[in-house]
Structure 1
Amino acid sequence: MTRLLTEADGSPVAVENPDALSPVLLVCEHASRRLPEKMGSLGLSPEALVSHIAWDPGALAVSQLLVKNLDAVLIHQRFSRLIYDCNRPPQAEAAMPPVSEIFEIPGNSAISPAERLARTEALYVPFSSTISGFIAARKVHDRPPVLVTMHTFTPVYHGKKRDVEIGILHDEDSRLADAMLTAAGKSLRYAVRRNEPYGPADGVTHTLIEHGLKNGLLNVMIEIRNDLVSDEIGQRVMADYLTGILGESLVALSQ
């Protein structure tokens, strides 16, 4: 099997602030729009390769600000979800989608089983293993993490404007989501809603299930409308807001 990543590509996963004191573990599956050297452009235009189909614009920047605000750990993927969407299991077509929104992805149109395996082993396995290893190490020291996955979404989807600004998503365990929605409801600063613009039925809670539910951890997925975090000012305002409601929620849950 051909090795997908070259030495120049480097590691598929990055870990920031691993010795953090906070229990918060931030995970950003769609942090980068970078493609591995061997993959070329997947047949996509430059426009498509900088669009939301390739990554979650602003998600990494906000996550890195939360690292500082909360003294949290951050684990993020260093390559585009066009190659492998690390918030999807290997058997899901959406892990390596042939079509995303309005874009056909020629390089994903006829992936052989061998190539699917190569992508899975190069990107998903080390990413998932890094998260699992971190959680296991913290649990050994009786310091179970709080899993928070970070995403952004487009203001317009298939021609329809989205008025939700922040989505607080959960699967079967809604403890942290409930607390955050309560905290967010104390002001009208943003339109914050439960399981919008996506929810479990859309297949977006894989990381929460695999690493949160299966380990009995408090967990939540945060979706931010990306026009709110398109520049540094917006990113800082959003990070400060999320720091507030997340911190308040963790205090409430500890009582």
Structure 2
Amino acid sequence: GPGVLLAGVVVLAEDGLELLERAREHVHLGLELVEDPFHQVAHPLEDGAAAVARGLGAALNATVVLQPYSRLVIDCNRPPHSVDAIVSLSEHTTIPGNQAVSPAEATAREREIFAPYHACIRALLDERLQRGQPTLIIALHSFTPVYLGVARPWQVGVLYNRDARLAHALAQVLMAEGDLVVGDNEPYAVGDETDYAIPHHGEARGLAHVELEIRQDLIADAAGQRAWTQRLTRLLGRIERTLIA
């Protein structure tokens, strides 16, 4: 059974679908209203990762932290002063609402969206630490099957930097499934300049962690999301004892 893992996993999903118009309803960003500033969202399937995160939360009794806003508003997995935190171009799609972002507007997005999300994770991890509760961090993302005209061969990728404990254990059981091409730090790698969650919440605290990338088309519908939730639940159950003392 899931054993210690029942309370041991914290799942982060950072690619929401809500755009600035929606953000304005919930959050006082103090931004000028631009009609449909993010039209034609380049990543309409990102919510698949959030659905899998919610599924894992239910299956493992894990704690799930979801960022509801699209990373086109501000990417919560980039250092906020990185050039990629607010992108004007996403693959081939120009993002109108990001063409002339003033420093004040960028700061407002950081303050109202980025900061509360990471403060929530910090408070949660502090609380678990005080209780002596073992913790594994899984940051869930999805990636596009074709990027800039190049087909990506992987169905899933495990990403890490300084600490590969969970990534290598998960890669091993994913490869043992026999039907998956598993990326080892593909299609991306984790780094201090390009990532925020793993360096700040995982590495800095010495907690076992992985950034898990699932190809978007595999989790675009409820059946795919269910299948990946079940697969990950089973595999995490298999490796938990090696990771949580």
TM-score norm. by structure 2 comes to 0.88
Query: How big is each residue's C-alpha offset from its partner over 1:114-171, in whole Å with a ceiling of 9 and x where there is no partner?
Result: 1111111001110010000000000001114211001111111111111100001111
| Cα separation, 2, equivalents of 1:43 and 1:211 | 32
Over the matched positions of the two proteins, sequence identity in percent amounts to 34
Aligned residue type for 1:24: V
Aligned residue type for 1:66: L
Count of aligned pairs: 232
Query: Which moves more between the two structures, 98-107 or 172-181?
Result: 98-107
SS in 1 for 2:139: strand
Deviation (angstroms), 1:231: 1.0
SS in 2 for 1:193: strand
Asked if the contact 2:19–2:73 (Cα under 8 Å) also holds between the matched residues in 1, the reply is no
Task: Say which of 37, 40, 59 aligns to 1:43.
Answer: 37
| Cα separation, 2, equivalents of 1:42 and 1:98 | 15
Asked if the contact 2:79–2:194 (Cα under 8 Å) also holds between the matched residues in 1, the reply is no
| Cα separation, 2, equivalents of 1:201 and 1:138 | 25
Tell me if 1:29 matches 2:14. yes
| Cα separation, 2, equivalents of 1:122 and 1:173 | 31
Tell me if 1:120 matches 2:110. yes
Aligned residue type for 2:37: G
Aligned position for 2:179: 189
Deviation (angstroms), 1:26: 0.4
SS in 1 for 2:198: helix
Task: Say which of 97, 103, 121 aligns to 1:107.
Answer: 97
Aligned position for 1:59: 49
Provide structure 2 residue ranges, at least 5 long, that are not aligned to the other structure: 25-30
Deviation (angstroms), 1:204: 4.6
Aligned position for 1:198: 188
Aligned residue type for 1:216: G
Asked if the contact 2:49–2:140 (Cα under 8 Å) also holds between the matched residues in 1, the reply is yes
Deviation (angstroms), 1:202: 9.5
Aligned position for 1:180: 170
Aligned position for 2:74: 84
Tell me if 1:153 matches 2:153. no
| Cα separation, 2, equivalents of 1:87 and 1:118 | 17
Asked if the contact 2:158–2:213 (Cα under 8 Å) also holds between the matched residues in 1, the reply is yes
| Cα separation, 1, equivalents of 2:121 and 2:183 | 27
SS in 2 for 1:185: helix
Aligned residue type for 1:90: P
SS in 1 for 2:211: strand
Distance 1:254 1:43, change over 3 A: closer
Query: Which moves more between the two structures, 168-177 or 193-202?
Result: 193-202
Query: How big is each residue's C-alpha offset from its partner over 1:14-55, in whole Å with a ceiling of 9 and x where there is no partner?
Result: xxxxxx95110000111323332365455343xx22x31x67
Query: How big is each residue's C-alpha offset from its partner over 1:84-110, in whole Å with a ceiling of 9 and x where there is no partner?
Result: 110011111111111111112222122
Distance 1:41 1:149, change over 3 A: farther
Asked if the contact 1:42–1:105 (Cα under 8 Å) also holds between the matched residues in 2, the reply is no
Aligned residue type for 2:133: R
Query: How big is each residue's C-alpha offset from its partner over 1:40-91, in whole Å with a ceiling of 9 and x where there is no partner?
Result: 455343xx22x31x67241111111111111101001111111111001111
Provide structure 1 residue ranges, at least 5 long, that are not aligned to the other structure: 1-19
Deviation (angstroms), 1:254: 3.6
Asked if the contact 2:19–2:72 (Cα under 8 Å) also holds between the matched residues in 1, the reply is no
SS in 2 for 1:120: helix
TM-score norm. by structure 1 comes to 0.85
| Cα separation, 2, equivalents of 1:66 and 1:219 | 15
Asked if the contact 1:28–1:151 (Cα under 8 Å) also holds between the matched residues in 2, the reply is yes
